[in-house]
Amino acid sequence: DGTGGVGVEVGGAADWTAVGGGFDETSYSRLDQIGTGNIDKLGLAWALDLPGEVTLEATPLEVDGVIYFTGSYAKAYAVDATTGKVLWTYDPETWKHDPAAMHFSFGANRGMAYEDGKVFAASLDGRLFALDAKTGKELWVSESIPEGALNISTGAPRVMNGKVIIGNGGADFGARGFVTAFDAETGKLLWRFYTTPGTDEENAGKPAMELAAKTWGPDHLKAGGGGGTVWNGMTYDPELNRIYIGVGNAGPYDPDIRDPDSKGDNLFTTSIVALDADTGKYIWHYQENPRDSWDYKSTPNIQIATLTIDGKLRKVLMHAPTNGFFYVLDRKTGKLVNEPGKTTLITWAKGIDMKTGRPIEAPQIRYETGLTKMWPGTIGGHNWQAMSYSPKTGLVYIPQQQIGARFSRKGGSENAFNVMGLMLEPITEKPGDGHGYLVAWDPVAQKEVWRVQHKGLWNGGTLATAGGVVFQGTATGYFKAYDAKSGKELWKFNAGLGIIGAPMSYSRDGKQYVSVLVGYGGTTAAYGHFMDMGYKYGLQPRRLLTFAIGGDKSLPPSPPPDFTVHALDDPALTLDEDDVLAGRALSVQCAACHGVGLQATGTPGPDLRESAIALDLDSFRALLQSGPLMSRGMPRFENLTEDQIRQLHAYIRAKAREALGKREKDDTAPSAKL
Ligand SMILES: O=C(O)c1cc(C(=O)O)c2c(n1)C(=O)C(=O)c1cc(C(=O)O)[nH]c1-2
């Protein structure tokens, strides 16, 4: 019916059969046993500890009494939905299979797909695997990334009518985006759609690639594949038998490096593209940022619904990409049905031109002067954390953050990253920056109805329910429930660690449950200099938590946040300034897991300033060269030279010394930092 078809394929409203709840990706549960009237009686039914896990981004599925989810590095779990007992696990062991892929991520995986007794997920190195849902037995494994391509897989596959589709990431290091469909029964490749053009020869005879090629200059492949990776949102539309894919940013970000010989739009980067579900043939596209120059991405989840607009029922899709606007498109044509509203502080554009559908860009945003500042920044107003839509309230619940970005063609502060020739750095300069928000948005009126400010910047996805409640986990470690109409906070539970994944709901033997993964991380956890969460590596347990009315279990308390860096130093050691500087540049490779500027506060890896291994040159060298911790996510860096190892080590030492110095000078209460 297009109004939140949760679980319709299997057990009606009782199950949660896809990461977004059902095909429509509205993250809405029709269950109403837990509601605004009894939420004070909501309590923990069971908890499952997940030792060894780091970043947990998946929304679990539930089918016929079994919960399925992926942990980090796509380790798959099946768990009894009423008791929390583990039924089976499956580990694709990427570190053994393709150690090189470990360099390109920090373990993120956003979940599984379910159809007909099979579950599907993809490992970081792009192996799509099908498992028997009962036993966890491997049924088939197919390579979804061609040999030699730079891509990695972090997203959840989607499955429909016997076809599994999977995208991948890598635009930030120059990969070319595509999605691939496989036969769910056999794992055979059925079709592949590229999001950027290839060589003239490859494009010939393919209308979508010929169309895209006109928007790029002749030499566009020199700087890489152009980006446009489809690493998160993909939605199947059963009414029109189409798939809408959310295409990522263009790469390299600087268009003068990426595509110096044209001023074209660089299709299909930062677009939504509609494809025929059977053949993968192009139907339409809508580009949210023509000639993207800022790492803007259209990858957040794409919802389908039927809305009444100007008195007419319209089949629409709804989208809140990182650029901050809210788009409602006609699913048949890909055209705007109303004027996109601003869901957050937006400085890069005045609005969207309703005649052309193109943004009206603000002056000086294409770094004409060599430098550009803008809001939202690359982290986005809304990123991969799922937004939900309640057909009951007619509102969309967007997990948001406010933070800007500074781009410069040279220079930048210590915390700036050089991303393929452009210096990039998140900034907090405007009122409201550095916080996350839960925003209730009216997609018909295109305006905000209420908002809640969170303490932390990077929070979890949302779940809306027929009980009139919106659930969301926060960076500061609370799982919270809000009144869907007013935004009033109704309930909270201390989970002991930040939450970034989205919750889901199911019913078993007449009882409604709500589950959520607790596992702080994601890319933004690396920005410890903006939001020191005080989490310490390995100390706060990762868990799957499940709640029900009358639940009376409690969690053993997690170690509280600790904002002190317990750095180690040897005052006798002299550090070579040139080594420290060179080490700083090399440390970009460490940042996703150990923090920007080595400030690790909830990152998947430990704080190197506190690490006895990293601070001792000999054990550090052995760690990098032989990879004894590879199974725990620490890759081998066998290509680093002896000089580079010494430089990195000097930088770690210098940062440890600096942290100790700060601690002596600054004795403000640690909690004052948040
Ligand atoms: O360009 C890409 O291919 C790509 C991939 C991914 C990813 O695969 O996780 C992210 C991003 N970009 C990205 O821009 C981003 O903000 C991001 C956040 C996260 C995360 O897991 O927290 N992944 C990614």
Condensed to tens digits (0 to 9), the pLDDT of residues 108-166 reads 999 999 999 999 999 999 999 999 999 999 999 999 999 989 899 999 999 999 999 99
CA nearest to 226, candidates 262, 268, 191: 268
Element of type H or E holding 63: strand 61-63
Q: CA-CA distances (angstroms) from residue 555 to 43, 45, 543?
A: 11, 11, 10
**Is pLDDT at 539 greater than 50 in this prediction?**
yes
Distances (CA, A) of 158 to 124, 273, 278, 311: 16, 16, 14, 33
For ligand 1, mutation pick of 297, 322, 593, 603 (most atoms within 8 Å of CB): 297
Q: Which amino acid is at 377?
A: G
The pLDDT of residue 241 is above 50: yes
Active-site residue, from 24, 295, 433, 532: 295
Residue type (1 letter), 256 = D
pLDDT reported for residue 2: 33
Return the pLDDT at 573: 87
Please report where in the chains the tokens 């904002």 appear, as a residue: 563
Backbone angles phi, psi at 395, to 5 degrees: -115, 150
662 band by pLDDT with thresholds 50, 70 and 90:
confident
User: Is 618 one of the catalytic residues?
Assistant: no
Q: What number is the average pLDDT over the span 340-344?
A: 98
In this structure, are residues 189 and 146 in contact, taking their beta carbons and an 8 Å threshold?
A: no
3 confidence band (pLDDT: 50, 70, 90): very low
Is the CB of residue 224 below 6 angstroms from any atom belonging to ligand 1? no
Model pLDDT, residue 420: 86
Q: How many CB atoms are closer than 10 A to CB 433? A: 18
Evaluate: CB of 78 within 6 angstroms of ligand 1.
no
Nearest Cα neighbor of 543 from 515, 522, 504 is: 515
Q: From CA 597, how far away is CA 439, in angstroms rounded?
A: 31
Cβ–ligand 1 contact at 56 (below 6 Å): no
**C-beta of residue 35 within 8 angstroms of C-beta of residue 16:** no
The radius of gyration computed from the CA coordinates of the chain, to the nearest angstrom, equals: 24
What pLDDT is recorded for position 674?
33
The token pair that represents 379 in the structure block: 């982290």
Q: Is the CB of 249 under 6 A from ligand 1?
A: yes
pTM for the predicted model, two decimal places: 0.96
| CB of 465 closer than 8 Å to CB of 32 | yes
Q: CB–CB of 352/361 below 8 Å?
A: no
Is the CB–ligand 1 distance for residue 269 below 6 Å? no
Contact 135, 151 (CB under 8 A): no
Question: How many Å apart are CA 98 and CA 409, to the nearest integer?
Answer: 34
Residue 523 confidence (pLDDT) above 60 = yes
**Ligand 1 atom nearest 458 alpha carbon:** 22
d(CA 292, CA 266) in angstroms, rounded, equals 8
- Range from 107-111, 169-173, 291-295 carrying the lowest mean pLDDT: 169-173
Query: Hey, which of 168, 420, 523 would you mutate to test ligand 1's pocket, going by the most ligand atoms within 8 Å of its Cβ?
Result: 523
Please give the Cα distance from 642 to 555 (Å, whole number).
46
220 CA → ligand 1 middle, Å: 23
Over residues 457-491, the pLDDT tens digits come to 999 999 999 999 999 999 999 999 999 999 999 99
The closest of 575, 569, 583, 562 to 643, measured between CA atoms, is 583
Kindly state if the Cβ of 232 falls inside 6 Å of ligand 1.
no
- List, in sequence order, every beta strand (DSSP E) within 485-593: 489-494, 504-508, 511-518, 543-549
Instruction: Note the residue count of the chain.
Output: 674
pLDDT digits (tens, 9 = 90+) for 503-514: 999 999 999 999
Return d(Cα 186, Cα 438) in angstroms, integer: 42
Q: What ligand 1 atom has the least distance to the C-alpha of 57?
A: 21
Q: How far is the CA of 232 from the centre of ligand 1 (A)?
A: 8
Residue 231: CB within 6 Å of ligand 1?
yes
> What is the edge-to-edge ordering of all strands in the sheet holding 28-29?
28-29, 462-465, 469-473, 478-483, 489-494
Q: Do residues 249 and 270 make contact, with C-beta atoms less than 8 angstroms apart?
A: yes
- The rounded distance, in Å, linking the Cα atoms of 572 and 590 is 26
Predicted local confidence at residue 416, as pLDDT:
83
DSSP 432: T
pLDDT value for 663: 63
Q: Whose alpha carbon is nearest atom 5 of ligand 1?
A: 169
Query: Is the CB of residue 153 below 6 angstroms from any atom belonging to ligand 1?
Result: no
Q: Are 207 and 175 in contact (CB under 8 A)?
A: no
Alpha-carbon distance 558 to 615, whole Å? 27
Indicate whether this complex's ipTM tops 0.95: yes
Ligand 1 nearest atom to the CA of residue 525, by list position:
22
| Closest by CA position to 184, among listed 257, 274, 115, 230 | 115
Q: Quick one: what percent of the chain has pLDDT higher than 70?
A: 96
Confidence of residue 8 (pLDDT cuts 50, 70, 90): very low
Q: What is the pLDDT of residues 343-396, one digit of tens each?
A: 999 999 999 999 999 999 999 999 888 899 999 999 999 999 999 999 999 999
Distance CA 215, CA 258 (A): 12
How many Å apart are CA 169 and CA 109, to the nearest integer? 11
Whether the per-residue pLDDT at 668 is higher than 80: the answer is no
Mutation to probe ligand 1, out of 145, 152, 172 (largest number of atoms < 8 A from CB): 172
Find, among 396, 417, 395, 397, the residue nearest to 406 by Cα: 417
> H-type helices in 428-495, by residue range?
none
Which residue do the tokens 């559908």 mark?
357
- Determine the distance separating the centroid of ligand 1 and the alpha carbon of 169, expressed in angstroms: 7
- What distance in Å separates the CA atoms of residue 120 and residue 17, rounded to the nearest whole number? 12
Strands 511-518 and 504-508: antiparallel
Phi-psi region of 569 (alpha: psi -120 to 50; beta: other; left: phi over 0): beta
Q: For residue 670, what are the contacts with CB-CB under 8 A and spacing of at least 6? A: 534, 561, 562, 563, 564
H/E element holding 200? helix 200-203
